[in-house]
Amino acid sequence: MRFALLFRAAQRESRGARGRLAFFTACLALGSFAVVGVSGLARSVRAAIAAQSKELLGGDVWIRAREPLADELVAALDAEPDSERCEVRLVQTMARATASGQSRLVELKAVGAGFPYHGALVLEPPGTLDARLDDGAVAVASELAAGLGLCVGDELALGVARFRVAALVLDEPGRLDPTFTSGPRVFSTLAGFHSMQLEGVGSRITYGALLALPPSAGPAAEWADTLSERVPMGEARIDSHEEAQPQVQRAARQVERYLGLVALLSLILGGVGVAEIVRAWIGTRVASIGVLRVLGFTPREVLWMYAGHVLALATVGSALGSLLGSFLPLCVPRFLPELLPRGLTLGWQPLSILRGIGLGTLVAVAFSLPALAAVWRVPPVRVLRHEAEPLPAKRALTLAALGALIGSVFVAAWVQSEELGLAAGFTGLVAALLGVLALGARGLTRLARWLPRERLPASLAHGIAALARPGAGVLGAVVALGLGTLVVVTLLLVETRLSARLTSALPPGGASLFFLDLQPDQRAEFERVLAAEGAQDVRIVPLASGRLTRINGLSAEAQALVHGEGRGRWALTREQRLTWQQELGPDNHLVAGELWSDPQHLELSLEQDYAEDIGALLGSPLTLEFSGLPIEFVVTSLRQVEWESFGINFFIVAEPGALDAAPHSLLAAANVAPEREQRVQDALVAACPNVTVIRVRSILEKVSYVLSRSALAVELLGAFTVAVGLVLLAGVASLGALRRVREVALWKVLGVTRGGVARLFALEFALLGGVAGLLGALGASALAWAFFEHVLEFDSDVPWWTAPLAGLVAATLAALCGLAACAHALHTRPIESLRS
Amino acid sequence: MPALECRGLKKELPSGAHTLAILAGIDLAIEAGEFVAILGPSGSGKTTLLGLLAGLDRPSAGEVWLEGRRIDALSEDALARLRRGRVGFVFQSFQLLGNLTALENVLLPLELVGVAGARARSVELLGEVGLGDRLDHYPAQLSGGEQQRVALARAFASEPSVLFADEPTGNLDAETGARVLLLLDALRARRQVTLVLVTHDPEVAARADRRVHLRAGKIERIEFGRETARA
């Protein structure tokens, strides 16, 4: 058949399709809005970072290491013609307002002249860092000033030195929201940093160099690659501005991947909705299809005609949602500014619209195919006999429709996640969930058919009977609404339980404060301050850093070839922190060997998973190097550690006294009542200014806050799935409008008032919604329980009232939506429908 | 060669555990240009016979030949292509497409065949059946008689050689029915179209060249010649 005729026929079929178009749009627009919104946001963040990368980094190249940069590297940088270099030191330390004595953990950045080379800090009073800073002055973030009650000109103690606050930092390009950092920023000069005397043994300082390259140097990434090939970098890592904001870029990729799949779920439910609408619509077109067949249309031509119509409606529906979704990146910075680095401006992402339209139409057409395949079976003789047997189903067509359905979900998941394994897993999970819900729907229909209704009140009997009626749309409504409920309830359960766990009291005996960088000669003063402030369970352990050089007689490099993945690689190539002690804490359990049992060798006890990662066994010889001095040990015990106890624990523990002579610092922990934490911190920072205090509660609160904000985004997307489910329910109710109108007329003729009829319908929809919600919530409880038990290994009970409550909410929403969709039928006069 | 012929035509339908014989071996040959009426009481199998002769349904046994071509074993696609342009239909319940205007209903079979000047021809045909001023009306906006006249225009649009009519006046009042019948007969005669018409109304059947009476799925008797006196 010529395309023009096919197009004309599909176009004519569109007449009077306003209602259908509305439901297509409602079903697909929500899903495509979510898909385009998520993809557009992630793309927008990446594009903005790429466009503003130099400003975000402050230079062209950033080199950093946990130790001073190697002399060879510094010499090579000195020899670079025309490039500018600014030395940087980064460290987390305590800042104390000398006037009030209040202290706070800050992220100190000591910089040389010229910082930053690109972009600009916004200071108050206005000016550059070079102009404002001297060796006795610092610039502090405005939130630190607010927190400690500081003004410009006030005094701030950092380490053993005192500084004048010369300026407030109002804006720092590339800086993340304080929620995502350890503390507010403080800028100092390099000389000022040295005067703080923070560079003790075990201190965690990042030594860096920020470079501005001349235009002749070419692309910064290539320049960086050439440098790292030419010069031994040692521990140092080098990043060009193109790799700026790695955490944000990684987060954007994760958002695109995982939230993209949650968004896809809404679109898939939209597909289920479209399938239901198409099924109901084709049901009303059987007579017309019979006439078309009589006039000489082949089954294939009729199928194309209706598929063309579905394609057109799907394109319009998803285009509308996609267009709206493409504006999401412009709204996010306004409503959730803390999610993005400062100074990042997001742009409109028109290209994402194509993704939304593409996926929307793919899902809609694929999900419609099984329903559309019914047109193939309409026999032409139906124009003569209504009860004519349908033509035999075409097996190839049925299989192709099923294949297209599964294939489309897989392709869409692949497009969204860009990962084959994840796409396959998602497809499998969706198929399994839809399958379980479909079984539930079928069970419900059977139950409704089987249930004796004679003794039930009339309205309840009618509601149950309606569920058993052929074409009641139970399958689609239960699957869509059930899956929507499942997604939302699972997310809510996981988030609330996890948050509760994070913000609840610390485990008994767990430490609430950790103290880093304590030097051995400060121990007595430290113990005095803590005793005076009433700290409990004070525990102090020595801490040394060593590098693993040989395991089982093999060099660490050789071992890394075998165990070079993940933690194994980290352990074999980076400095390891370890302690030495006589007895293990109660949160350590020996699983093999015996502690300090070999008088012939120096002994080590390893955490069992760590031992596996580095390829060490009980009895393995192991060499650690401390400041260039190798010391040989033998592994004599393996331990299991309860990390969630919040105690001081190490992967490597040496026998007592083994490393007393090695350069080391002390690590301490204590349990302090929440209301006394600030006092203890302030007193300690005054007495031992180089010590960094980590407050576990505030970290847990931050993690909980970040978790709740991230969960909010997922839950909002999840809510889309429920919305699609409700739209679907309303769509099914509305498509049966003709039947409803007749029913209403009959009920009214029999003497039932309009309110009475509304109650009958409300009960029918409420039953449908209630069962869908109940099934969804039961599934969600099972998923959440499995997640806690097997992934997080928490004991977490799911509240018993989850499923009934979800069922009740879903029932109410379903009743409201169903009634709204039947409003027209309720208002039609009985005589109008009976006459027709 | 007959325009339409069936040999040993049978149709059985499942009815519970048994099969129900709707047609029990029909032999019939219809010449080109002939007007044959099929009569019989309800359940005698007349509509089933019409469906089988038109290739809308498949027989349980027997053969159907349309203009020298055996059609009972053709595929659905081949049957659909055969119907285009060669076979026309008029039904008791009109069977117009509700979302198409009168003109578009007539135009559709012509577009399917790809006839040049399809629109002009449809307009002319609708004028011929007296609906020249109702081109853009939808079926719901037309009376029963008008709808059936649109159906007549559609049936003759692609100049078929055989026309099948199933109780074409069954849903119309006597006066309108008579006018539609006159129109059908006139159009048929002018275009020399073979007409197979199913009716239970002897008045309608009286216009036919031949009347085939069915009873219980078998030909009971055949009458020849127009009964002009009754018409």
Per-residue b/e over A726-757, b at no fewer than 16 CB within 10 Å? Answer: bbbbbbbbbbbeeebbbbbbebbeeebeeeeb
State the DSSP H helix or E strand holding residue A545, giving kind and residue range, or none if neither.
strand A536-551
* Angstroms from B210 CA to nearest CA on chain A: 23
Contact A166, A123 (CB under 8 A): no
For residue B60, what are its two tokens? 């349980």
- Substitution target in B95, B100, B158 with the highest count of A β-carbons within 10 Å is B95
Task: Name the 3-class secondary structure at A348.
Answer: coil
What pLDDT does B229 receive? 41
What pLDDT does A1 receive? 53
User: How does pLDDT run across A618-641, given as a tens digit for each residue?
Assistant: 999 999 988 778 899 999 999 998
User: How does pLDDT run across A413-471, given as a tens digit for each residue?
Assistant: 999 888 899 899 999 988 988 888 888 888 888 888 888 877 777 777 877 887 777 66
pLDDT of B178 > 70? The answer is yes
Contact B172, B145 (CB under 8 A): yes
- Gyration radius (Cα) of chain A, Å: 34
What is the sign, positive or negative, of the torsion defined by CA atoms of A651, A652, A656, A657?
Answer: negative
What pLDDT does B230 receive? 43
Cross-chain Cβ contact B95/A2 below 8 Å: no
Provide CB contacts within 8 A for A418, sequence distance 6+: A257
User: How does pLDDT run across B84-104, given as a tens digit for each residue?
Assistant: 888 999 999 888 988 889 999
What pLDDT does A510 receive? 67
pLDDT of B219 > 90? The answer is yes
Q: Give the span between the Cα atoms of A127 and A40, in whole angstroms.
A: 36
- Substitution target in A288, A291, A303, A397 with the highest count of B β-carbons within 10 Å is A291
Cross-chain Cβ contact A298/B98 below 8 Å: no
Q: Give the span between the Cα atoms of A56 and A757, in whole angstroms.
A: 64
Average pLDDT of the residues in A591-618: 89
Of the CA atoms within 13 Å of residue B87, those in its CB half-sphere come to 26
Q: Give the span between the Cα atoms of A322 and A29, in whole angstroms.
A: 7
Q: Give the span between the Cα atoms of A412 and A63, in whole angstroms.
A: 40
What pLDDT does A503 receive? 64
Cross-chain Cβ contact B109/A295 below 8 Å: yes
Q: What's the pLDDT band for A834 if we cut at 50, 70, 90?
A: low
pLDDT of A288 > 80? The answer is yes
What pLDDT does A410 receive? 95
pLDDT of A143 > 70? The answer is yes
What pLDDT does A487 receive? 81
A contacts of B89 (beta carbons < 8 Å): 294-295, 383
B84 touches A: beta carbon within 8 Å: yes
ipTM metric: 0.88
- Tell me the residue type at A119: G
Could you tell me how far CA A270 lies from the centroid of its own chain? 23
What pLDDT does A567 receive? 65
A388 touches B: beta carbon within 8 Å: yes
What pLDDT does B231 receive? 36
User: How does pLDDT run across B107-149, given as a tens digit for each residue?
Assistant: 988 988 888 889 999 999 999 889 999 999 999 899 989 999 9
For residue A58, what are its two tokens? 């402050």
pLDDT of A199 > 80? The answer is yes
Q: Give the span between the Cα atoms of A267 and A364, in whole angstroms.
A: 9
pLDDT of A505 > 60? The answer is no
* Angstroms from A721 CA to nearest CA on chain B: 34
DSSP for residue A726: H
Contact B41, B215 (CB under 8 A): yes
Could you tell me how far CA A158 lies from the centroid of its own chain? 36
| Range among A47-61, A464-478, A772-786 with highest mean pLDDT value | A772-786
Cross-chain Cβ contact B98/A288 below 8 Å: yes
User: How does pLDDT run across A569-600, given as a tens digit for each residue?
Assistant: 777 777 788 999 888 888 889 999 998 988 88
Is B11 within the bounds of a domain? no
Is B41 within the bounds of a domain? yes
B111 touches A: beta carbon within 8 Å: yes
Is B25 within the bounds of a domain? no
pLDDT of B66 > 90? The answer is yes
Measured CA angle at A569 (ends A567, A572), to 5 deg: 105
Range of the domain at B182: 32-56+79-224
A297 touches B: beta carbon within 8 Å: yes
For residue A72, what are its two tokens? 């060879």
User: How does pLDDT run across A335-382, given as a tens digit for each residue?
Assistant: 666 666 666 677 777 888 999 999 999 999 999 998 898 888 899 988
Longest CA–CA span in chain A (Å) reads: 105
Cross-chain Cβ contact B83/A295 below 8 Å: yes
Select the residue of A1, A296, A299 nearest B83 (Cβ to Cβ): A296
Which residues, listed in sequence order, are joined to residue A580 by a DSSP beta bridge?
A654
Minimal CA–CA distance to A160: which of A238, A214, A222, A98?
A98
pLDDT of A792 > 70? The answer is no
What CATH number does residue B164 fall under? 3.40.50.300
Q: Give the span between the Cα atoms of A764 and A459, in whole angstroms.
A: 9
Which residues, listed in sequence order, are joined to residue B8 by a DSSP beta bridge?
none
What is the residue whose two structure tokens read 């109702």? Answer: B134
B contacts of A298 (beta carbons < 8 Å): 76-77, 80-81
pLDDT of A3 > 80? The answer is no
Size of interface A-B (CB pairs under 8 A): 81
| Range among A3-17, A103-117, A332-346 with highest mean pLDDT value | A103-117
Q: Give the span between the Cα atoms of A361 and A317, in whole angstroms.
A: 9
For residue A651, what are its two tokens? 């992967």
Is B44 within the bounds of a domain? yes
A contacts of B84 (beta carbons < 8 Å): 295-296
Select the residue of A1, A13, A294 nearest B89 (Cβ to Cβ): A294
Q: Give the span between the Cα atoms of A168 and A189, in whole angstroms.
A: 15
Cross-chain Cβ contact A294/B99 below 8 Å: no
Percent of chain B whose predicted confidence (pLDDT) is above 90: 56
Per the prediction, chain A carries an average pLDDT of: 83
Measured CA angle at B195 (ends B53, B111), to 5 deg: 80
- Substitution target in A309, A384, A385, A394 with the highest count of B β-carbons within 10 Å is A384
pLDDT of A739 > 70? The answer is no
Is B194 within the bounds of a domain? yes
Select the residue of A12, A296, A384 nearest B100 (Cβ to Cβ): A12
- Our count of domains for chain B comes to 1
A293 touches B: beta carbon within 8 Å: yes
The H helix count followed by the E strand count for chain A is 29, 21
Q: At what angle do helices A754-786 and A458-468 cross, to 10 degrees?
A: 60
pLDDT of B194 > 90? The answer is yes
Contact A62, A208 (CB under 8 A): yes
**For chain A, which residues make up each domain, given as ranges?**
1-58+255-418, 59-247, 420-504+704-836, 536-671
Q: Phi, psi at residue A637, to the nearest 5°?
A: -155, 155
Percent of chain A whose predicted confidence (pLDDT) is above 70: 90
Could you tell me how far CA A492 lies from the centroid of its own chain? 14
Range with the lowest mean pLDDT among A131-135, A197-201, A500-504? A500-504
Find the residue in A nearest to B53 (Cα): A381
- Tell me the residue type at A463: G
Q: What's the pLDDT band for A23 if we cut at 50, 70, 90?
A: confident
State the DSSP H helix or E strand holding residue A481, giving kind and residue range, or none if neither.
helix A474-503
Contact B44, B215 (CB under 8 A): yes
| N residues, chain A | 836
Omega of the bond leading into A116 within 30 degrees of 0 (cis):
yes
Average pLDDT of the residues in A298-318: 89
Select the residue of B51, B82, B113 nearest A381 (Cβ to Cβ): B51
What pLDDT does A489 receive? 86
Contact A500, A708 (CB under 8 A): no
* Angstroms from A361 CA to nearest CA on chain B: 25
| N residues, chain B | 231
The H helix count followed by the E strand count for chain B is 7, 10
Pair type for strands A137-141 and A161-171: parallel
Q: CB count, 10 Å around CB of B75?
A: 10
Q: Give the span between the Cα atoms of B88 and B157, in whole angstroms.
A: 8
Q: What's the pLDDT band for B50 if we cut at 50, 70, 90?
A: very high
Range with the lowest mean pLDDT among A77-81, A602-606, A810-814, B203-207? A77-81
B20 touches A: beta carbon within 8 Å: no
User: How does pLDDT run across A665-722, given as a tens digit for each residue?
Assistant: 889 988 888 888 888 888 888 888 888 888 888 777 777 776 776 667 677 777 777 7
A5 touches B: beta carbon within 8 Å: yes
What pLDDT does A356 receive? 92
